[in-house]
Amino acid sequence: MSDKFAYLSSVERSRTYLIKGLQTVQAHDGYISDAAIEAIAAYFSVPPVDVEGVVSFYAQFKRTRPGKYKVAVCDGTACHIKGSISILEWVGTELGIKPGQTDRDGLFSLETVACLGCCSLAPVMSINGKVYGKLDRKGTVKILKEYRKNG
């Protein structure tokens, strides 16, 4: 295993912890690279295709590098009813990207999620895990502009 993934040694080396291993890598690198797949396969002694299979099954795992700010617009039921589609549209226009994409500067990436558990504040989005509720167009754009300003 290359030194780059030496931190994996903090995860118990048993198949049960494969997902934990992937989560650890993603927390570290922001995504699961091809090299990470190989390294994890070696670490847990499973074929790379098995690792790839697990990665592709779970929505959490990303195979492309996300932006510095990960914007997740909730499209869970409550948020959908409360107009998350418009929020998504507005965020997309402001950032110039579609869900699943990262902008050219690598500053923002956009995705949708199904419920952050803050449904009573719908519609909501999160940026790097910080949740913003009761969104409207103005508020949403303002929040994004703030992040852009801070760079």
- Contact with other proteins (CB under 8 A) among 4, 68, 137, 148: 137
Q: How near is the Cβ of 85 to ligand FES at its closest, in Å?
A: 12
Interacting residue with other proteins among 4, 70, 80, 148 (CB under 8 A) = 80
Q: Assess contact for 9 and 39: CB atoms under 8 A.
A: no
134 binds, among other proteins, ligand FES, none (CB under 5 to 8 A by kind): other proteins
Closest CA to 5 of 55, 41, 57: 41
Rg (CA), the chain: 17
Provide the binding-site residues for ligand FES, judged by CB under 6 A.
Answer: 74, 76-79, 115-119, 122, 124
Q: Please report the sign of the dihedral spanned by the C-alpha atoms of residue 72, residue 76, residue 82, residue 86.
A: positive
| Six token digits for residue 57 | 């099954």
Cβ neighbours around 71 below 10 Å, total: 27
Tokens of 119: 């449904």
User: Can you tell me which of 13, 15, 28, 145 binds other proteins, judged by CB under 8 A?
Assistant: 15
Asked if 116 is part of the footprint of other proteins (rule: CB under 8 A), the reply reads: yes
* Residues 55, 128: Cα–Cα separation, whole Å: 21
- For residue 23, the cross-strand partners are none
* Residue 31 binding partner per list ligand FES, other proteins, none, with a CB distance cut-off of 5 to 8 Å that depends on partner kind: none
Q: Which residue, 60 or 77, has its beta carbon nearer to ligand FES? A: 77
Contact residues for other proteins, defined by CB under 8 A: 14-20, 22-23, 44, 53-54, 57-61, 75-78, 80-83, 86, 89-90, 93, 113-122, 124, 129, 131-134, 136-137
